[in-house]
Amino acid sequence: MQAPLIIIIGHYGSGKSEFSVNLALQKARDHNVCLADLDIVNPYFRSREAREILNNHNIEVISDTYSSTKGLDMPYLSPAVQGRIAKRDKFLIMDCGGDPNGIKVLRQFSDLISDAPYEMWMIVNVFRPETHNPSDILAMYRALQASSELKITGFINNSNLLRQTSVADMLQANQIMQEVVEETNVKVVYTSGIPELLNKLPNDILGEKFPLQIILREKWL
């Protein structure tokens, strides 16, 4: 039986790497996990920066992508990433770069990925300027699918204003995501946030509540 593959994509600054690290830590309780950091766009909040924490939980971290040089149109994934995609012998989480340009790297393996079941989840923060309403989210959704040549199978509502986030903010984000779900027929898998905030949300919030431990951003807050 092949292990699951989950690809994490989204707009620049939507919280992909923070979510990916937390997801890896959660899944490591019951699975052998590999986290592949393919974010060559954002030099700051990359999941590879949490390598020590991840390694302490026996999570393999792959981050040796080849950057786009010498006239190449897109960066190439390292053989280690390709091997994990092909083998499916570990629970594989792929943390991709932001925006359509950041996930072009997936094209070279779209056929290999599609050969077996996979999930591709789009992280959304409605408080980012480029995804602050249903129309903009839908435009990003279509652009990411076109750029990756893969199908988005779920949304992660990671809407936040960092430590200033309120319950009212989360409910507003939930309403926006409801409109997106109705338009795309793609479900919200998780609504993520810090535990003390999630505990105040109603039980009928979209998706499962996913408590986030702030690992990558802590020193920036």
166-178: pLDDT as tens digits: 999 999 999 999 9
Residue 1's Cβ-count burial label (10 Å; 0-12, 13-18, 19+) is exposed
Q: Is residue 209 classed as helix, strand or coil in its secondary structure?
A: strand
What is the secondary structure of 37-58 as a DSSP string?
EE--S-SSS-GGGGHHHHHHTT
Q: Taking 70 as the threshold, does the pLDDT of residue 15 lie above it?
A: yes
Contact 39, 63 (CB under 8 A): no
Q: Is residue 26 classed as helix, strand or coil in its secondary structure?
A: helix
Instruction: Work out the average pLDDT over 175-184.
Output: 98
pLDDT band at 69 (very low <50, low <70, confident <90, very high): very low
87-112: pLDDT as tens digits: 999 999 999 877 787 788 888 888 89
36-66: pLDDT as tens digits: 988 766 555 455 567 888 989 999 998 755 5
Domains of the chain by range and CATH? 5-220 (3.40.50.300)
Cα(205)–Cα(157) distance, rounded to whole angstroms?
A: 10
